[in-house]
């Protein structure tokens, strides 16, 4: 069993995002206050 790792950050810099996926992160969410985006990522993780 694996636990999905989603990074929630205030940075939208491409290097930061690439770094997360480069170390096998499952998702990256920029804190913009949009709860719908957050739930969409959670739904996508559930499909794995």
* Three-state DSSP state, 29: strand
Of 18, 19, 20, nearest to 7 by C-alpha is 20
Q: What pLDDT was estimated at residue 12? A: 92
Segments of the chain scoring below 70 in pLDDT: 32-33, 48
Q: What pLDDT was estimated at residue 18? A: 97
Q: What pLDDT was estimated at residue 38? A: 76
Q: What pLDDT was estimated at residue 48? A: 63
pTM beyond 0.95, yes or no: no
| Residues composing the chain | 48
Q: How far apart are CA 25 and CA 41, in angstroms?
A: 13
């Amino acid at each position: 069993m694996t636990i999905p790792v989603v990074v929630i950050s205030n940075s939208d810099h491409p290097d930061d995002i690439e770094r997360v996926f480069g170390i096998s992160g499952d998702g990256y969410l920029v804190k913009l206050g949009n709860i719908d985006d957050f739930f969409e990522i959670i739904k996508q993780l559930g499909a794995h």
